[in-house]
Amino acid sequence: MTSITRAEVEHLARLARLELSDDEIDHYAGQLDVILQSVARVSEVAGADIPPTSHPIPMVNVFREDISRPGLAREDIAAGAPAWEDDRFRVPRILDEE
Amino acid sequence: MAVMEDDLVRQDAATLASAIARGEVSSEEVTRAHLDRIAEVDGEVHAFLHVLNDEAMESARAIDARRAAGERLGPLAGVPLALKDVLTMTGVPTTCGSRILEGWRPPYDSTVVERLRAADVVILGKTNMDEFAMGSSTEHSAYGPTRNPWDLERIPGGSGGGSAAALAAFEAPLAIGTDTGGSIRQPASVTGTVGVKPTYGGVSRYGLVALASSLDQPGPCARTVLDTALLHAAIAGHDPRDSTSIQAPVPDVVAAARQADVRGMRVGLVRELSGEGYQTGVSQRFDEAVKILTDLGAEVVEVSCPNFEYALAAYYLILPSEASSNLARFDGMRYGLREGDDGARSVEEVMALTREAGFGPEVKRRIMIGTYALSSGYYDAYYGSAQKVRTLITRDFEAAFTQADVLISPTAPTTAFKIGDKVDDPLAMYLNDIATIPVNLAGNAAMSLPVGLAPEDGLPVGLQVMAPPMADDRLYRVGSALEAALVDRWGHLLIEEAPQL
């Protein structure tokens, strides 16, 4: 397992949409490295013949009856929105300038 | 025997409920007493993020009126409860201990809240927690730490430190927690209270703000095993709005708690969850409890779960992976905080600024670990291997449960530590959950109950009982038998020894 660099933390922060400060990047680089080194030992016992478990109680095809039911009221949604305009969420521009 | 009015906050829920049912005291009086207690001590303890003063009194009066009109109400009707701030309640702030949800009022009830309302339980307010339930000390709350009522310089455990402290400070006789890796059991352990993580799928996750969806489980907390069972019965059961909810009858936990009999039960000591790393007084009180179980007629055997050694590592890959995905919803577009929306910045820039401002350090760490573990090139070595370890741990449990009906261990390796001791040392913090995590990975049910004070520091020690999936009733059989024997020995519940606030 490779150890984690400052550049990797910057990359992870970008992927995770976190605008970290320089101090934070330095601080987290050391901590993430320690954590990842420690958890890497899962591969010691994870043989090819062992099936993965994604869910503790296996269930397949859970259906409910297809009947309509009331959704949330528009004004209730608007009340929790950070910005609302013309009965819709107002969001910043979605394209970059360049 | 009539309940004394000045004592109301020290009564357990079952006693309060029957006093209310017999008309010896009203829900209004009981609720008032608890709200007064909160006003008196919560400045020091900080168990609550939001107190529902008017709403709680209103629902108490409505319950009293219905009873006066001759309506027959449920076994917890009129009893107050503290709700962890990770479950939605219509119109009531739900922050999850995070700035990113500050001021958000959900437009719907979680199923847990719906069932509490149906049971006529009075909800007093929302309790403090580590941000998005990430932590073992409640120090990672954006709104400041909760303090342990046994020693205000110490942590109340986490993430559900607020719910556990509310019980230990006699601010509420009942509380709701959620347990992803120990967040009900470890706080119960360090505050001398009782907490149960039901079988995964036993209590609906609808309206529970998700941390790690394959591990999260809401559950009951109280000061006695019977109260915990009564609350368990009130909130559990199939919910079509949660696709992972189990479609089977809830085990009869209340009958099991009343049975309180371990004769003939096989109790397994997990070899890997003892010894090195466990505080002396924790091991001592645990060993004494084992002796009591033997004296009560249980057959104690030693079992080995060799892969538990890898549980912590697997958990700290699976949890951050699921969390990094679940927390992607906090993007500042539809609810909660939005930062830096100046008309010039793009949506991506606003998202990154919002998440930077809204999330605390532990949340950022785990989001980045999860993002890393799920990256192409690392996925097989990290997340894929962790899922295989999860299989091995489940197999260890299955093998152990052929030799024993329940397994036991200390709940946490230490008693409550000092606030600030581990807050910026993630690995040291993660070790608090070493004994509780295997249960979440396998989906089993487990309880923590108090078994004494560690002689070296005078702080509570918890014992964990673990049962196979859907055998939650066994926890209560063992827990109530042990509790009765300890109360017999001490002359009172352990919580009675907590210092006056």
Task: Tell me the pLDDT tens digit for each residue of B243-255.
Answer: 999 999 999 999 9
Please give the single-letter amino acid code of residue B333.
Answer: M
A2 in B contact zone (CB under 8 Å):
no
Whether residue B201 has pLDDT greater than 50: yes
d(CA B442, CA A93): 45
Average pLDDT over residues A42-56: 92
Whether residue B3 has pLDDT greater than 60: no
Chain B segment 437-476 residues within 8 A of A by beta carbon are: 440-443, 469
Which of A23, A34, A42, A50 is the best residue to mutate to test the B interface, defined by the most B CB atoms within 10 Å of its own CB?
A42
Whether residue B63 has pLDDT greater than 70: yes
Chain A segment 19-38 residues within 8 A of B by beta carbon are: 19-21, 24, 28, 31-32, 34-36, 38
B364 in A contact zone (CB under 8 Å):
yes
Would you put residue B121 in left (φ > 0), alpha (ψ -120 to 50) or beta? Answer: beta
pLDDT at residue number A97: 63
Q: What is the CA radius of gyration of chain A?
A: 23
Q: Which residues of B touch A35 (CB under 8 A)?
A: 316, 365, 369, 426-427
pLDDT at residue number B399: 98
Q: Could you tell me the pLDDT band of residue A59, with boundaries at 50, 70 and 90? A: confident
pLDDT at residue number B4: 58
B379 in A contact zone (CB under 8 Å):
no
Q: Which residues of B touch A50 (CB under 8 A)?
A: 388, 391-392
DSSP-H helix ranges across B279-346: 280-295, 311-326
Q: Which residues of A touch B107 (CB under 8 A)?
A: 72-73, 76-77, 79-80
A91 in B contact zone (CB under 8 Å):
yes
Average pLDDT over residues A46-74: 89
Tell me which residue in A1, A18, A72 faces B356 most closely, judged by beta carbons: A18
- DSSP-derived pairing of the beta strands B48-51 and A88-89: unpaired
Report residue B448: phi and psi, to 5°: -120, 135
The superfamily (CATH) of domain A6-45 is: Glu-tRNAGln amidotransferase C subunit, N-terminal domain (1.10.20.60)
Strand partners for A89: A84
pLDDT at residue number B1: 45
Q: What share of chain B is helix, strand, coil (3-state, %, to 5)?
A: 45, 15, 40
CB within 8 Å of B273: residues ≥ 6 apart? B305, B308, B409, B410, B434, B435
Q: How far is A87 from chain B (nearest CA, A)?
A: 13
Chain A residue at shortest CA distance from B470? A57
Mean pLDDT taken over chain B: 96
Chain A residue at shortest CA distance from B240? A64
Number of separate helices (H) and strands (E) present in chain A: 3, 2
Whether residue A11 has pLDDT greater than 60: yes
Whether residue A2 has pLDDT greater than 60: no
Contact (CB, 8 A) for B225 and B480: yes
Query: Which residues of B are annotated as catalytic?
Result: 84, 159, 183
Residue in this structure with the two tokens 């706080």, named with its chain if needed: B187
> Looking at the predicted complex, does its ipTM rise above 0.90?
yes
DSSP three-state, residue B382: helix
Task: Tell me the pLDDT tens digit for each residue of B299-341.
Answer: 999 999 999 999 999 999 999 999 999 999 999 999 999 999 9
Q: Which element (helix H / strand E) includes B218?
A: strand B218-222
Query: What's B175's DSSP letter?
Result: E
- The reply to whether residue A42 touches residue B385, judged by beta carbons under 8 angstroms, is yes
Task: Tell me the pLDDT tens digit for each residue of A22-39.
Answer: 999 999 999 999 999 999
- The reply to whether residue B443 touches residue A12, judged by beta carbons under 8 angstroms, is no
DSSP-H helix ranges across B22-80: 27-45, 53-68
Q: What percent of chain B has pLDDT over 90?
A: 97
pLDDT at residue number A1: 47
Q: Which residues of A touch B104 (CB under 8 A)?
A: 80
Segments making up each domain of chain A, as ranges: 6-45
- The reply to whether residue A97 touches residue B346, judged by beta carbons under 8 angstroms, is yes
Six token digits for residue B346:
């793009």
